[in-house]
Amino acid sequence: MRIKSALWFFLFILLLGSKGLYAQGPPSGDGPPSGTNTPNSPLDVVVDTSIYFFLYATDPGKYYPIEDTLLGDYFSQYDPIRKGETDKAHLGTPGSPHRDLFFQPQDFRGVTLGINQFDANRITPEKMRFYRVQQAYSRMGFSQGSSQEETMFDLEFGRSFDKGLSMSINYSRMNNMGAYDHQRAIDNAFGFGLWYQSKRGRYESFFSYTTNSETLEENGGISDDLRVLNNFGDSVLVEPAGVPTYLSDAMSRYDQSFYSYEQYLYFFAPRDTSGNLRPASVGLTHRIQYITEGQKFYDADLEETEVEEYYQGLAIDSRGLRNFSRLNTFENTVDLFIITQRPAADKEAPPIRRSFLRAGLVYDLHTLKQEPLEENLNNLFLRGRWDFTPGPAFQASAYAHLGFLSNIGDFRLSGKLATALADWFQLEGQAVFQQRSPTLLENRMFISQQEIWNESFRKHTETRIEGRLVVPKTKSAVSIAWNLTDGYVYFDTLGYPRQLGSALNILQFRVDQSVKVWKLYLDNQVLLQSGTNNELRLPAYYSKHSFYFMGNLFKEAMFARIGFDLRLIGPHTPVTYQPLTGQFIQQTSRTLDWQPLIDAFITFKVDKFRFFFRLENILPVLTQDYNFLISDYPIRSMGLRFGISWQFVE
């Protein structure tokens, strides 16, 4: 078996050693997605008394337990933009393009189109879970809005088979018609994975196929006032179906697919001949990926003056407009790694990883297609990663990469540190220093096969330093972050890219506080940021608050959570969205006052089934005013959504 595993490993390298791929997303060496599927606190560690675990292909040896989350913070938050540590803003309907409300440096390596407005909805190899379970695991969820045209479905499935094979499936679909004319958004995401481990553990491999697609009806936003005078002379809101929009025929389609195969060859088996765990293992890892992603926009209706005025200087062809871009990438990665582990308290549980070090080379071959041109780009990156967890009270990690060839001079240095001092508080810190090239669509754009812009922007340099204090006994956390970004690229009111000649200083504060009295809870998060309202167009203040009852009802036959959510966004001048280029652009016609958003919810659990009812955005019915997070794209007023979810381990 040793010889066969080694032969398969080196056969893949020899056959595919000249090609490989990465298009967009976090650096592959950074491990699992942050804030998505990993524990919220850096000091959350694997509970070694569970027998159901999952891991990520880029993070071998680090297992996370499959837990019954009961009615956690995100169960009734069906919209992906509200499932992270901080919320995002979209075009008023789930599945539409979104952007951060709280500034974060972009995290990608090498060549990228610059399409990241669907990242919260997509499945990538870094997000794929591979399960270690003794029985089949499945979780399914479904929710529906005010009609059958507003549905969401998601599925996770994992099963282990004989001879070291495990299978994973991840699927989600969002179908939302929207409240306004020509606003439908259909998002599909699918992932399939296979994990193989040899009998003695000297060889393991991960195969994953993930594909994402977004099909959007683009209405360009509302083109008229939302209020009219009724027969009594009172100003009332217009029904959404009666509000005119800029566009009626424009369509967009985005897609992204990954074919990934990652394999690990250990020079020595993790356990000796007596079955005892070795303190350290050394080996070689190899990954090949093929990634294809693209965007396509078309609008054949430019006869009306309002439509042509909407596109402004981008309306170069009265017969219609089309934008097509595609980036195909082939990646090849070879790393050396060292991993140290210790046995878990439960013999049925996997070992607990203490440290992981990997370093190597990544080669990318990119083929860029922008009608009517096609070109090839080559990248070579030297990269390394280190994770160190000697015990539950201390964790540290570091990552670095350095680019050559097409992205020569690009680099990233990042590190995280977390330590617990007794049981009273935790100190956490992280820092990022990076220099990256502009995205492909920032540098060049073709519309209807005509070049609209061709820039040579300088590299973008970013620094972020963040510290956080957590007090578990009082359920409090305070953090402060400083960002310095030089070479920031934004899109002006005409939709053209512009690069700032000076650096941006952004100071951010965040406070989290939870209070419990009896079975009543109040969860609060307050975010403050300075220097974001000119080119960034982000609010200086954002907070969210949740007040609810949580406990058993009906003689413990039901576990329930009942309450209200409040989001409060401070005054600012927001961006709007240009569907032709797929970019958020500046505008000057709308300035927002305080935007309060209130939802009422009921969630409950009976056995393995969970249910929720959510009445969203209640205030417009009372205030007779719409709310916005993106200019010209109002958030739908009060609507009811219900959902069901169930989880089984058979």
333-371 pLDDT, tens digit per residue, is: 999 999 998 888 877 788 889 999 999 999 999 999 998
DSSP label of 74:
T
pLDDT at 12 over 70: no
pLDDT digits (tens, 9 = 90+) for 508-563: 999 999 999 999 999 999 999 998 668 899 999 999 999 999 999 988 889 999 99
What band does 411 get if pLDDT is binned at 50, 70 and 90? very high
For residues 555 and 348, give the distance between their C-alpha atoms in angstroms, rounded to a whole number. 35
Residue 503 token pair = 């650096």
What values do phi and psi take at 222, rounded to 5?
A: -80, 145
Q: How far apart are CA 495 and CA 585, in angstroms?
A: 6
- Report the distance separating Cα 508 and Cα 369, nearest Å: 39
User: Tokens standing for 342?
Assistant: 């210790």
Give the CATH class of 2-99+117-649.
Answer: mainly beta
Indicate if the pLDDT at residue 195 is higher than 50.
yes
> What is residue 307's predicted lDDT score, i.e. its pLDDT?
83
- 0.85 cut: is pTM over it? yes
Instruction: For residue 4, give the H/E element and its range.
Output: helix 2-16
**By the 8 A CB rule, do 409 and 401 touch?**
no
State the pLDDT at residue 302.
Answer: 80
For residue 235, the model assigns a pLDDT of 63
For residues 43 and 472, is the Cβ–Cβ distance under 8 A?
A: no
- The predicted structure's pLDDT at residue 555: 82
Number of Cβ within 10 Å of residue 342's Cβ equals 13
How confident is the model at residue 421, as a pLDDT? 84
Would you place residue 35 in the very low, low, confident or very high pLDDT band (cuts 50, 70, 90)? Answer: very low
CB 486 within 8 A of CB 503: yes
Structure-block tokens of residue 24: 């967009």
Residues 6+ apart with CB under 8 A from 162: none
How far apart, in whole angstroms, are the C-alpha atoms of residue 618 and residue 564?
11
Mean pLDDT (the chain) is 88
Residue 332 contacts residue 326 (beta carbons within 8 Å): no
Q: 179: exposed, middle or buried (C-beta count within 10 Å: 0-12, 13-18, 19+)?
A: buried
- The 3-state DSSP class for residue 381 equals strand
The one-letter amino acid code at 308 reads E
